[in-house]
Structure 1
């Protein structure tokens, strides 16, 4: 490069014979940068400050809850519906209340087992799948002293109680000795 070259004034840095010039950014780059800054401030104001529109995460969670509710209403006794209910905090509060008022007398408040078997260990007498738990709560085991709670509680409370029992398993609360077969 010669000393009289007009681009010589633009050279900012030279390293290992690599010349770095100070050129303007392309206008489309600047437009994208400035546009994204304005968009981010607008997004922040609309969704987080003024709350003019619902947050996309809240919309997603609401839609998922509606889908789960529709599936439960379509087939409330399906294993998927029981598992979904076991992950719903509101349903678990209702299930815990049903368990406390109807099941805790025999199974203990924590499911540790008093007269009935321990529900927190990995040993199960009649199966530990969601449909097995629902059948056990609904039909009971009259020969073993467990009443059929389905006709007494109704389907909604019965399903919530089974979902709550599903959350209790494998917690190994100290209590009654293991009964039944180990289930992983």
Structure 2
């Protein structure tokens, strides 16, 4: 593989991982309106949605810690290893949220477990952000670092737009009851 092709391949892979991570992060927010009654039953849709939004916000509190922990891990084990671990934590969290029992099944443990999982996802996202920026700038040619590093922001927004796009498509084909189940 030619050096410029290898660089482009590494930039693409790093950007794709970043996009997947942000997609997983934002899909929670996009679908909170559907799953919030399962974890925060109050018979008041506004309260349920606010509780889900509070959990979303709590995840952001873990980002600085995630940056510290995952950045140190990436410094010791390599950027790819750090990014891979970050994606695995985020994807595992999304899977666990999908499998979580609801409030009617396990009571208060449903929202508690949701908070714990989102805290781990916030840790993951914090680690992804700094490690991804470093990886993209290290992989780029010196004259193209700014351009390639900007892919981190492009893929951040792309992940959010894809999450919303998936929501719109599902809303077109599924009923509200099906989306909430």
TM-score interval, smaller chain: under 0.3
- Higher relative contact order (CA closer than 8 Å, sequence separation 6+): 2
Larger radius of gyration: 1
> TM-score scaled by structure 1?
0.25
Question: Which has more helix, going by share of residues?
Answer: 2
